[in-house]
Amino acid sequence: MSETRQTPVSEKQLLEEARRETGLSDFGPEDFREGLRVLIETIEKNPFTEKGRRRNRRRLLQLLATRLRVQEAFRRHPEIREREIRSPVFLTGLPRSGTSALFSLLAADRAARPLLLWETQFPDPNWELAPGATDPRFLAVRAYMDAQREQNPEFTKIHYAGADEPEECVLLHALGFDGGQTGYELILEPYRSWFPAHDLRPLYRYYADLLRLLDWQRPGERWLLKTPSHLWALDALVEVFPDCHIVWNHRDPAACVPSIASMIHMILAAQMDVSKPQVGALVFEHYAASMDRGLALREAIEPGRIFDVGYDALVADGLGVVRELYASFGLPLDAAAEAAMQAHRAARPKDKHGRHRYDLAEFGLDRDEVEARFRHYTERFGALAGRSDR
């Protein structure tokens, strides 16, 4: 039986529902509206199943409601925006280049303040929470993620996610209705064309305020953040966070591209009929373009601000990489931090949750094609971005 198409997703209706749900009316800076409209158009113009459309609509509504609650926090406590974000560390690079593994390893240092998954869903304060009490929203996210891992163990092989685990900051960027979103929007029109063509600085200014809001609730010494999408906005990153450090992970693109294509296809195939070669071609071009952008923007950044990490070196000697990284940025690395990282690494061996298997051919790609498109990158970074064991 074919699905009955529901009422089109409406910007006006979404805004009204979010206001009714929260009892609030101020969404903050109005620049989010353009991205919201493009996301709505992306939902409407692509062949999502009705279940997929409802899921995407619900996500937009949740983001709008959260944005209202965030703005209410700024209204109640305007001093939040005055908080200083000191020397944050940002991880980036192609997806599947070891950024998540390094992120988790660095987060074992008590001096690091990583963004946690549940915080990306609920950055707003829980005004009714008693001092010292566990936020029930955290418990809800933990229960949900536990259930998701049980229901979809194949996805866990690709990306382990837990409520109190470090997570990508694109999930915070989504509150600006911009950035990497859930990943598949980046390969669907019109979001695919809109995203790389507009100014990302307003998004990063809003993102900085969200970090201040989280730091106001649960302070830390030094923010630790990660997403491949930072490659698109290295200029905005340095402008908004002038004393930031950037860690750039490198890996053979012929290993990265099918791996991220596999992840995005798994997410998208649950919402529309789409083939692996279709996803492969779009993922390939998007991330090649992201590398082009990142390399171009890197030219204007002083070399000492960026530390390059090779995937093979990270797998072989993660602690050795960390020592070099800390020394490069002048960060203290004490015995307690090293011990915590060693314990973390021992508890999280590679492929602990099962091996993620993929290859270029199933996504309609071949090594020669990928190597030709990324040659400017691999020639520049040599062994750091050379062939690696998948």
Closest by Cα among 117, 160, 157 to 140 = 117
Residue 35 lies in a domain: no
Is 155 part of any domain?
Answer: yes
Please give the backbone phi and psi of residue 21, each rounded to the nearest 5 degrees, phi first. Answer: -65, -40
Residue with tokens 């053979």: 252
Kindly give the interhelix angle for 253-269 and 276-298, rounded to the nearest 10 degrees: 130
Domain that holds residue 305: 87-385
Indicate whether 20 belongs to any domain.
no
79 is a domain residue: no
Q: Is residue 235 included in any domain, yes or no?
A: yes
Phi, psi of 31 (to 5 degrees): -70, -10
What whole-number distance in Å separates Cα of residue 305 and Cα of residue 348?
29
Residue 371, Cβ density class (10 Å: 0-12 exposed, 13-18 middle, ≥19 buried): middle
Residue 121 C-alpha from the chain's centroid: 13
pLDDT (0 to 100) of residue 158: 59
Q: Looking at the DSSP assignment, which residues form a beta bridge with residue 112?
A: 222
390 found inside a domain: no
The whole-chain average pLDDT of the chain stands at 92
Q: Is residue 65 part of a domain?
A: no
3-state secondary structure of 91: strand
Task: Look at residue 42 and tell me if it is in a domain.
Answer: no
Q: Are 324 and 264 in contact (CB under 8 A)?
A: no
Number of domains in the chain: 1
Tokens encoding 111: 């001096």
Closest residue by Cα to residue 374 from 248, 288, 293 = 288
Beta strand 222-226 with 245-250 is: unpaired
pLDDT tens readout for residues 301-353: 999 999 999 999 999 999 999 999 999 999 999 999 999 999 999 987 765 54
Q: What is the pLDDT of residues 270-315, one digit of tens each?
A: 999 999 999 999 999 999 999 999 999 999 999 999 999 999 999 9
Fill in the amino acid letter for 303: P
CATH number at residue 273: 3.40.50.300
Which residues of the chain are under the pLDDT cut of 50? 1-4, 353, 389-390
Q: In Å, what is the CA distance from 169 to each residue of 74, 96, 211, 235, 358?
A: 20, 16, 10, 17, 26
pTM, rounded to two decimals: 0.93
Number of Cβ atoms within 10 Å of the Cβ of 166: 23
Residues 65, 20 contacting (CB under 8 angstroms): no
Q: Left (φ > 0), alpha (ψ -120 to 50) or beta: where does 177 sit?
A: left
Q: How far apart are the first and last CA of the chain?
A: 42
Amino acid at 99: T
> Which pLDDT score is estimated for 3?
47
